[in-house]
Amino acid sequence: MQEEITKPRETLLDAEEMALNMGPQHPSTHGVLRVLLKLDGETVIDLDCDIGFLHRGVEKIAEQDTYAMITPYWDRLDYVAAVSGDLCYVEGVEKLLQVEVPRRAEYLRVILTELQRIASHLLWLGTHAIDIGAVTVLLYCFREREEILKIFEDFIGARLTAHAFRIGGLWWDVYPEFETRVRDFLKIIPDRITEYETLLNTNRIWLSRTVGIGVLPAEEAINLSLTGPVLRGSGVNYDVRKAQPYSAYADFDFEVPLGENGDTYDRYLIRMEEMRQSVRIIEQALDGLPEGPVMAKVPKVIKPPVGEIYHSIEAPKGELGVYLVSDGTGKPYRMRIRPPAYINLQSLKRMAIGHLVADVVAIIGTIDIVLGEVDR
Partner 1 sequence: MADDNKELPADKPIAENESDKKEEAKPDATLAERTEAKPEGETAKPAPPKAAPTGHKPAPPAKKGPVVTVEITDDPLINKIKEKFGDAVTEAVATFGQQIVRVKKNSYLDLCRFLQTDEDALFDLCADLTAIHWPERKEEEFDVVVQLYSTQKNRRLRIKVALADGDACPSLTALWSGTDWMEREAYDMFGIKFEGHKDLRRILLPEDWPGHPLRKEYPVEYRDNEWTDKHLQYREIDYDTSLIDVKYAERR
Instruction: Return residues touching partner 1 (CB under 8 A).
Output: 51-52, 55, 57, 59-61, 63-64, 95-96, 98-100, 222-227, 236-238, 243-244, 297-301, 303-310, 312, 319, 321, 323, 325, 327-331, 333-334, 336, 338, 342-343, 345-346, 375-376
CA atoms in the 13 A half-sphere facing the CB of 70? 30
HEC letters along 80-143: CCHHHHHHHHHHHHHHHHCCCCCHHHHHHHHHHHHHHHHHHHHHHHHHHHHHHCCHHHHHHHHH
E-assigned strand segments in the chain: 17-22, 34-40, 43-50, 165-166, 169-170, 307-315, 318-326, 334-338
Query: What's the closest the beta carbon of residue 295 comes to partner 1, in angstroms?
Result: 13
Query: What's the closest the beta carbon of residue 63 comes to partner 1, in angstroms?
Result: 8
d(CA 318, CA 312) in angstroms, rounded, equals 10
Query: What's the closest the beta carbon of residue 373 comes to partner 1, in angstroms?
Result: 12
Query: What's the closest the beta carbon of residue 79 comes to partner 1, in angstroms?
Result: 18
Query: What's the closest the beta carbon of residue 312 comes to partner 1, in angstroms?
Result: 7
Our CB check for partner 1 shows the closer of 50 and 153 to be: 50
d(CA 326, CA 65) in angstroms, rounded, equals 13
Our CB check for partner 1 shows the closer of 211 and 325 to be: 325
Q: Which of 184, 191, 192 is nearest to 151 (CA)?
A: 184
Query: What's the closest the beta carbon of residue 56 comes to partner 1, in angstroms?
Result: 10
d(CA 149, CA 162) in angstroms, rounded, equals 9
Query: What's the closest the beta carbon of residue 180 comes to partner 1, in angstroms?
Result: 36
Our CB check for partner 1 shows the closer of 64 and 208 to be: 64
Our CB check for partner 1 shows the closer of 64 and 180 to be: 64
Our CB check for partner 1 shows the closer of 79 and 333 to be: 333
Judge contact between 97 and 302, C-beta under 8 A. yes
CB-based burial of residue 358 (10 Å sphere; 0-12 exposed, 13-18 middle, 19+ buried)?
middle
φ, ψ dihedrals at 254, nearest 5°: -155, 165
Query: What's the closest the beta carbon of residue 115 comes to partner 1, in angstroms?
Result: 26
Our CB check for partner 1 shows the closer of 159 and 303 to be: 303
Our CB check for partner 1 shows the closer of 35 and 112 to be: 35
Our CB check for partner 1 shows the closer of 95 and 280 to be: 95
- Helices 103-132 & 357-367, crossing angle to 10 degrees? 170
Q: Which of 252, 298, 282, 311 is nearest to 179 (CA)?
A: 282
